[in-house]
Structure 1
Amino acid sequence: MRLIRLCCLPTGLRDWPVGWAGLMSLLLGLCMSAPASSQTPDASPPASDHAASAAVQVFLNNRAVASFRADGLRGTAGDRAALAQQAMADALAAGGPGNVTRVEAPDAVRFDIDGRPVFFLTAADVAVLPGSGALPAAAYRVQRRLELAIAEHREMRDPRRLAIATVSALAATAVAWAVLWALLRGRRWLSRSPLNTLEQRQGLLASSLKPVGRALNGLIAGLAWALGLLLAELWLTWVLRQFAYTRPWGERSSTWLLDVADHFLGAIAQAVPGLSIAVLIFLLARGATLASAAFLDRVARGEARLGWLDADTAMPTRRLSNVVIWLFALAMAYPYLPGSQSDAFKGVSVLAGLMLSLGASGVVGQAMSGFSMIYSRSMRVGEYVKIGDTEGTVVEMGLFATRIHTGLGEEVSLPNTVIFSQPVRNFSRLAQGGRFVLHTSVTIGYATPWRQVNALLMEAARRTPGVAESPAPYVVQSALSDFYVEYRLCAQSTQAAAQRRVEAMSALHAHVLDVFNENGVQIMSPHYLGDPPQAQVVAPSDPWAARTPQPPLQPGA
């Protein structure tokens, strides 16, 4: 024993009393202070080689007392921690008063309990701790923690202290349940109170105020949940701190709650300047949108007009300008938003951009087609058009689709990309005053005089109530086909005509059939199979063969 003490202890520590229980802890604790020349080939490397090793904590009844980082003589930091815990248990089992003392040296500090060495703290154990200070300062903190752990060790075996802790925990539990019950009752009362007040003042709760009531209920429920969770945290922390074994958990819970509150309040304080700038940018954007809306509303009402902007394009221009203004405001305010520089925020932004670029290409194409169609002025709301096989009145022109009422009891919604890719026939553009064009065609054989067909079509137009007298209808021979002549009647509707063009066309077709049947003219398209016995020409004696003046064609037809 004397030889070991002389060879292994550093100067200033050779006169320490060493017990059998602390012998191995002493040897392992002093390995780092031995001269490098005295190490054997299989000895542990110097402390600098283990500077980055993980710390192994020494516990006494769930209380962290010290941390070992340096390996010892033929042992690791974990072995030192195990020997230290065993030495502390043996010292406390002796039944002494539990006095803690320490003996300091330049490169190590020994800790004793009632004069029995329990472990050593070396310079290598604290050198890797950033900002930990010198070894004496670290040793002082270890001594305070060890004294607290010994006091808790004695408290755990004191029936009186255990009874007081149990009564305190039960009382705290009863108080917490009472507060929680009051919180739930208060939440129910507050949830009903605003709605009852509104009902008493207005008799019945207006439908416009129901969203306000739901928002208040949601706010009250959120506050109740937050207060309930805070109450549970406070109750659990108090109960854990009443018992010596669980007191370290309660202290960590309190520290965690304070750290969270400090981080939360600090983040709010740091975000206030940036949020102020972002709010100012959004307020300026709001002012710009209001100014733009005021001007474009005047254009829509006809009070102002620009060369490229009229009442039909005012509202689409308003939507487009609002989108541009808010996108520009968002781009300007983005760097000032809280968390905009974090990796999570950037990742979400990249993901959102990728999703928009992959999934919104069709939507963007529809919107661009809608804007192009609106600004090209190929049709307007209220005009009668024919797009492909769809014919009817335009009732709405949106960014993504156009709705058309066909007059047959159906509504057709056409994507703007479909409309933009095919011709649009507008039957209302050349007619003034909300009218629309009526035209129909018949094919009659060459044996029927063309003057008779023109007169019959004009008579059918005269009989139809929806056909306007001015401008007067007219008939054109639009084609001389191989077997028949194609005649086309062109007219315009009157203000009293049905809004649906299909009804006016049906009435016109009915009168064409009646007039041709009354005059014995077949509406048919004969095909040529051979020369007939007599030539299929109009006889000069036919009363319709006389040259009667034909109504002139209408200008622009």
Structure 2
Amino acid sequence: MPFDLEAFLATAQPFLIKVLAALAIFIIGKWVVRIAINLIKKGMMRAKMDETLVTFLSNVIYGFAMAVVIISALGQVGVSTTSAAAILGGAALAIGLSLQGQLSSLAAGVILILFRPFRKGDFVKIGGEMGVVDEIKIIHTVLKSLDNQFVIVPNNNVTTNVITNFSALPTRRMDLTIGIGYSSDLLKAKRILEELVANEPRRLEEPASAVMVKNLGESSVDFAVRFWVNTGDWWATHCDMIERIKLRFDEEGIEIPFPQRTVHHIGMPPANDKGASVAETK
């Protein structure tokens, strides 16, 4: 049977038109989506949104928009858009279930970038780890530890735990607990502590400093020494004050006791002059 070109063209023409229409929808749709994404990016950057968040939101919007374009293009060639949407939805659900931990960290990363409980360069304790924030990403946060190691903390661990930001405020209170022996001169020790605090050059005048008797402990009389410093000076001031207190107390004969316990034995026979009990000498 000879090939009937006219019959083939008459049969194929409607399908070719649909294919060309689908290609046009895909190409034009992709072009429109890119223009729209660029405009959205510029708008978010003008609003001074975080660059990481801008990139993430742009990618999410682009993905959803291209899914709509592809479904529309497939609809032109006779593919059921309902079936296509169901397939995409099922695929998204399967991916979501397999990556639920990563998606949890991703959502936490968006929250961190939006609400900014800490910023790059802050000294923080997050997810049980302590260090300087080096980078905040969508999935994880990178800390530089005090011994110069990178610690990567998943963002879902950050948002589900207590966040302590030591750098958030410009000033910080120094809290020292100093114990002296019960036989030491309490008022003399208090005067020495007040003098050391008054002579600390990094101490802030306001709020006022305080040296108070805090507690009568098992082995010591405890003082609470409190004054304020700039946040950046806190650690160095803490170490210097501890050193100066120890050296000054040694110089003035003020005892800093170690934990000790006095044990009283009830019912034992009294000891004789040589240290043996009466029962032992008989």
Q: Check whether the contact 1:393–1:405 (CA below 8 A) recurs between aligned residues.
A: yes
Matched, 1:443 2:178: yes
Q: Where does residue 295 of structure 1 map in the other structure? A: 43
Contact 1:296 1:318 (C-alpha < 8 Å) held by counterparts: yes
User: Residue by residue, what CA displacement relative to the aligned partner does 1:253-272 show, whole Å, maximum 9, x if unpaired?
Assistant: xx9xxxxxxxx999776422
Correspondent of 1:513 among 240, 243, 246: 243
Shift of 1:357: 2.6
In structure 2, what is the Cα distance between the partners aligned to 1:523 and 1:341? 85
Structure 1: 5+ residue stretches without partners: 1-140, 142-254, 256-263, 301-312, 498-503, 532-557
Aligned to 1:376: 115
Work out the CA distance in 2 between the residues paired with 1:512 and 1:420.
Answer: 35
1:9 is matched with: none
In terms of Rg, which structure is larger?
1
Change (3 A) 1:331 1:349: closer
Which residue identity does 1:289 align to in structure 2?
Answer: I
- Matched ranges for 1:223-234 at <5 A: none
Amino acid at match of 2:37: T
Asked if 1:491 is matched to 2:221, the reply is no
Residue 506 of structure 1: how far off its partner (Å)? 5.2
Does 1:480 pair with 2:215?
yes
The amino acid that maps onto 2:192 is: Q
* Whole-Å separation in 2 of the counterparts to 1:329 and 1:341: 19
Task: Give the secondary-structure state (helix, strand or coil) at the position aligned to 1:380.
Answer: coil
Structure 1 residues 125-140: aligned runs within 5 Å: none
**With structure 1 as the length reference, what TM-score do the two structures score?**
0.37
The aligned counterpart of 1:360 is 99
Q: Report the Cα offset of residue 398 of structure 1.
A: 1.1
Report the residue type matching 1:280 in the other structure.
I
* 8 A contact 1:473–1:492 mirrored in 2: no
Q: Deviations over 1:226-269 (max 9, x none)?
A: xxxxxxxxxxxxxxxxxxxxxxxxxxxxx9xxxxxxxx999776
What is aligned with 1:455?
195
Question: Matched residues in 1 for 2:99 and 2:213: separation?
Answer: 47
Q: Alpha-carbon deviations, 1:427-454, whole Å to 9, x = none?
A: 11111xxxx7474533313654444334
Offset of residue 401 of structure 1: 0.9
Q: State whether structure 2 residue 51 is matched by structure 1 residue 315.
A: yes
**Structure 1 residues 102-142: Cα deviation after superposition (integer angstroms, max 9, x where no partner):** xxxxxxxxxxxxxxxxxxxxxxxxxxxxxxxxxxxxxxx7x
Partner of 2:276: none
Residues 393 and 364 of structure 1: CA distance in aligned 2, closer, same or farther (over 3 Å): same
Contact 2:123 2:131 in 1 (8 A): yes
**CA RMSD across the alignment:** 4.0
Structure 2 matches for 1:219-368, cutoff 5 A?
270-300=18-48, 313-338=49-74, 341=79, 349=88, 352-368=91-107
SS of 2:47's equivalent in the other structure is helix
Distance 1:409 1:371, change over 3 A: same
| Deviation, structure 1 residue 327 | 3.4
Percent of matched pairs sharing the same residue: 17
Aligned counterparts of 2:139 and 2:163: Cα–Cα separation in 1: 17
- Map 1:399-438 to 2 at 5 A: 399-431=138-170, 437=172
| Structure 2 unaligned regions, length at least 5 | 4-11, 265-282
Q: How does 1:36-115 map to 2 (within 5 A)?
A: none
Taking structure 1 as reference, are residues 519 and 331 closer, same or farther at Cα in structure 2, changes over 3 Å only? Answer: same
Q: d(CA) in 2 for partners of 1:426 and 1:516?
A: 30
Offset of 1:282 from its aligned partner? 2.3
**Conserved 8 A contact 1:458-1:473:** no
- In structure 2, the partner of 1:22 is none
Q: SS in structure 2 opposite 1:519? A: helix
CA deviations on 1:463-503 (whole Å, 9 max, x unpaired) are: xxxx4657678456595364434445542146xx6xxxxxx
What is the identity, as a one-letter code, of the residue corresponding to 1:326? Y
Cα deviation digits, residues 202-222 of structure 1 (max 9, x gap): xxxxxxxxxxxxxxxxxxxxx
The 1-side partners of 2:172 and 2:149 are apart by: 21
Q: CA deviation at 1:405?
A: 1.2
State the TM-score, normalizing by the size of structure 2: 0.67
Q: Does the 8 A contact of 2:120 with 2:135 survive in 1?
A: yes
Q: Quick one: distance in 2 between partners of 1:400 and 1:478?
A: 48
**Greater relative contact order, per chain length (Cα 8 Å cut-off, separation 6+):** 2
Query: d(CA) in 1 for partners of 2:31 and 2:193?
Result: 71
Alpha carbons of structure 1 residues 385 and 409: separation in structure 2 relative to 1, 3 Å = same
Q: Partners of 1:296 and 1:454 in 2: how far apart?
A: 54
Distance 1:420 1:516, change over 3 A: same
1:403 alignment partner, SS class = strand
Q: Is the 8 A contact 1:316 1:371 kept in 2?
A: no
